[in-house]
Amino acid sequence: MERFIRYFLAGLMILSLFLGGLFMIVPTYMDQLTALGFTPEEMRIWVYRVVVPTYFLTIAYFSYRYLTGKNPTSTVWPILIVTFFFLISQIVGFVFFFFHWIQICYFLITVVSFFVLREAHNRRKNDIFGSSL
């Protein structure tokens, strides 16, 4: 499992660096991902209803953690929180957004990612604080 977590996090890092760089250079590229089945307008709405709220919920959460004097318990914790808020935003998106098959694929990938990241966080936390937690 440890090897799977390492490969998963390495793949996530490479994908994030690639997409982050790509979207800085060509910010409208997200609208052009119509091969996924969304029209450019649907993709824009999905980004505004799912991706952008994830960003702001994450900022709010870590601002709260700072103001209450609580630090992340592992280096994977911030990634886990972003994934959690992305998962919540997708669930809300199912209710308020027209349904498309690709949403199920994104949701399943996010659920798997959440559980892998949770396991990685628990392992790292136990390494840091010992197995008594």
Kindly report, residue by residue over 39-97, the tens digit of the pLDDT: 777 777 878 888 889 989 998 988 888 888 887 777 788 889 999 999 998 888 888 77
Query: Would you state the pLDDT for residue 21?
Result: 85
Would the pTM count as exceeding 0.85? no
**What integer pLDDT is reported at residue 32 of this predicted model?**
63
Contact 94, 110 (CB under 8 A): no
The chain-wide mean pLDDT, for the chain, equals 83
Q: What is the 3-state secondary structure (H, E, C) of 45-77?
A: HHHHHHHHHHHHHHHHHHHHHHHCCCCCCCCCH
- Structure letter (DSSP) for residue 97: S
Amino acid at 3: R
> What is the C-alpha separation between 49 and 36, in angstroms, rounded?
17
